Amino acid sequence: MAVSDHVSLDEFMEGVKKRNPGQEEFIQAVREVSQDIFDFIEDKEEYHEAQILRRIVEPDRIVSFRVCWEDDNHNVRVQRGWRVQNNNAIGPYKGGIRFHPTVNESVLKFLAFEQTFKNSLTGLPMGGGKGGSNFNPRGKSDSEVMRFCQSFMTELCRHIGPDVDVPAGDIGVGSREIGYMFGQYKRITNRWEGVLTGKGQEYGGSKMRPEATGYGAVYFLCNMLRHRDEEIDGKTAIISGSGNVALHAAEKFRQLGGKVLTLSDSDGFIHDPDGIDEEKLEWIKDLKMNRRGRISEYANEFSSAEFHEGKRPWHVEADCALPCATQNELEEEGAKALVDNGVLAVAEGANMPSTLDAVEVFHDAKIMYGPGKAANAGGVAVSGLEMSQNSERISWQHERLHDMLTELMGDIHDKCVEYGEIDDGPDNYVDYVKGANVAGFKKVADAMLAFGVI
Ligand code: NDP
């Protein structure tokens, strides 16, 4: 007779900690998801008997490898690369590649775990994965980045494929890096196939992919506001980061009639009380994407703005907040400042930017809080559509993709409401974290049940 898996959340988490020593980010992500799943599966014996929760927190496999490359001074450099193939129950592994000095196995495991639920939420057939390296592209020449990317792909190409695992970009991996990696994959395998997404539009990239994560986060925010009879027009926003996600979120928020007050990078944030208008945003895009400059330069260019060195923007008063830089950038103290200043809604463009303590502050204050796995799923959704276009050898038009993105974000919002609405007050408060976790989990878990014990 099988023994079912009725342990307490704390006992379960003790086991996770023991099996993953020192992997703080991964443990944090597992705890955040598990507390909701525990409630959901409490009376569902089939999940307990099949030990679904224990199986879902164990990645299918992790590949770790040495990446050697030569810098411009002919020094041999050694980095570590990884691919975490977390779960392919509902489709090929799918998730970005991150190049940043903070990358380690714990960070990639947390990202691959979150990605599994996010991809499930999109409704598209994509499993969850994530990869990267502790390589820092900042300050490197184009040739150095090219040599690194080629070396990284020389090993990675053995583990990926259009029906196996389809990586994309993430922090530190934009169109330049994707181009170098795709070129190397093609050279080694002699196959042109949709093995990476976020490609240039000349060679199979999807229209709307660059904008999709940032725009999608703002559409998710729109849906949350609409649920409370509010809209973006006339509202202010604090945005962190100044990369792909942050800049496109700022662009869409502004286009919908809102005013963006802040952007940041790892040096600090700029606060422009006059708002970052279209012209200013174009200037920042050129600064960040072409000149690879620092956000502090904005305050030298535009006298209406101030640069706050080493600080984060959460103390600035605004109606909405969109953390779009990196994990754990919004801590309890920042969350309290946002709530004290009357923020209405927080929509996460980044992955897990809010700590567990910060999330608790949002829940206690009952503000609208859209976690990254729901709010930033537009990026991977359009990546999924890039895979479909590559398989069909066809390229869809901008308008069609834009409509699909808008619809997808609405569907994701509705799934969160379906599983997260708490019917205990006049406002029908929605616990979007719970809604996203349960909806994302259910599809993956049911697929795993169908496969038996594997
Ligand atoms: P980019 O590399 O384009 O930009 C990252 C931004 O975050 C930069 O402004 C960077 O500043 C800042 N940043 C990075 N690390 C830190 C840090 N430790 N402290 C403060 N600021 C930091 O990345 P993306 O915009 O693509 O990604 C941003 C977030 O969104 C990530 O969490 C990513 O996982 C998530 N995401 C991205 C998707 C996409 O489609 N690109 C899809 C879904 C989620 P600096 O230049 O100083 O390093």
- The answer to whether residues 126 and 91 touch, using CB atoms and an 8 Å cutoff, is yes
**pLDDT given at position 423:** 74
Read off the pLDDT of each residue in 392-400 and give the average, rounded to a whole number. Answer: 97
Read off the pLDDT of each residue in 202-229 and give the average, rounded to a whole number. Answer: 97
Mean pLDDT of the chain: 96
Query: Which atom belonging to ligand 1 lies closest to the Cα atom of 173?
Result: 2
CB of 371 shorter than 6 A to ligand 1? no
Read off the pLDDT of each residue in 366-378 and give the average, rounded to a whole number. Answer: 97
How far from the centroid of its chain's Cα atoms is residue 6's Cα? 32
pLDDT band at 2, cuts 50/70/90?
A: very low
Q: Whose CA is nearest to atom 46 of ligand 1?
A: 265
349 Cα to the center of ligand 1, angstroms: 9
47 Cα to the center of ligand 1, angstroms: 36
End-to-end CA distance of the chain: 19
CB of 245 shorter than 6 A to ligand 1? yes
Query: How much of the chain, in percent, has pLDDT values that exceed 90?
Result: 95
Does 224 score more than 80 pLDDT? yes
How far from the centroid of its chain's Cα atoms is residue 328's Cα? 13
Helix axes 244-255, 278-285, angle to 10 degrees: 170
Tens of pLDDT along 405-450? 999 999 999 999 999 988 766 667 999 999 999 999 999 999 999 9
**pLDDT given at position 425:** 66
361 Cα to the center of ligand 1, angstroms: 24
Q: Whose CA is nearest to atom 22 of ligand 1?
A: 266
450 Cα to the center of ligand 1, angstroms: 37
Q: Whose CA is nearest to atom 19 of ligand 1?
A: 266
170 forms beta bridges with 173
Query: Which atom belonging to ligand 1 lies closest to the Cα atom of 264?
Result: 9
Q: What is the CA radius of gyration of the chain?
A: 21
* Token output for 390: 């590559």
Pick the closest to residue 277 from 253, 294, 297 (CA basis). Answer: 253
Query: Which atom belonging to ligand 1 lies closest to the Cα atom of 100?
Result: 15
65 forms beta bridges with 81
Does 33 score more than 90 pLDDT? yes
Q: CA of 289: how far to CAs of 75, 124, 150, 396, in Å?
A: 28, 30, 22, 25
CB of 172 shorter than 6 A to ligand 1? yes
**pLDDT given at position 3:** 44
Q: Whose CA is nearest to atom 41 of ligand 1?
A: 170
346 forms beta bridges with 321, 369
**pLDDT given at position 5:** 58
Q: CA of 52: how far to CAs of 44, 46, 114, in Å?
A: 11, 9, 16
- The answer to whether residues 207 and 221 touch, using CB atoms and an 8 Å cutoff, is no
CB of 25 shorter than 6 A to ligand 1? no
**pLDDT given at position 244:** 94
Does 181 score more than 60 pLDDT? yes
CA angle (74, 78, 79) in 5-degree steps:
135
CB of 376 shorter than 6 A to ligand 1? yes
128 forms beta bridges with 87
Find where tokens 């000095």 sit. 101
Catalytic, 434? Answer: no
Catalytic residue among 130, 207, 259, 336: 130
**pLDDT given at position 246:** 98
**pLDDT given at position 11:** 95
324 Cα to the center of ligand 1, angstroms: 6
Query: Which atom belonging to ligand 1 lies closest to the Cα atom of 325?
Result: 7
CB of 116 shorter than 6 A to ligand 1? no
- Give buried/exposed letters for 6-16 (b at 16+ CB in 10 A, else e): eeeeeebbeeb
Q: 3-state secondary structure string, the chain? A: CCCCCCCCHHHHHHHHHHHCCCCHHHHHHHHHHHHHHHHHHCCCHHHHHCCHHHHHCCCCEEEEEEEEEECCCCCEEEEEEEEEEEECCCCCEEEEEEECCCCCHHHHHHHHHHHHHHHHHCCCCCCEEEEEECCCCCCCCHHHHHHHHHHHHHHHCCCCECCCEEEECECCECHHHHHHHHHHHHHHHCCCCCCCCCCCHHHCCCCCHHHHHHHHHHHHHHHHHHHCCCCCCCCEEEECCCCHHHHHHHHHHHHCCCEEEEEEECCEEEECCCCCCHHHHHHHHHHHHHCCCCCCHHHHHCCCCEEEECCCHHHCCCCEEECCCCCCCECHHHHHHHHHCCCCEEECCCCCCECHHHHHHHHHHCCEEECHHHHCHHHHHHHHHHHHHHHHCCCCCHHHHHHHHHHHHHHHHHHHHHHHECCCCCCCCECHHHHHHHHHHHHHHHHHHHHCCC
Tens of pLDDT along 282-293? 999 999 988 989
100 Cα to the center of ligand 1, angstroms: 10
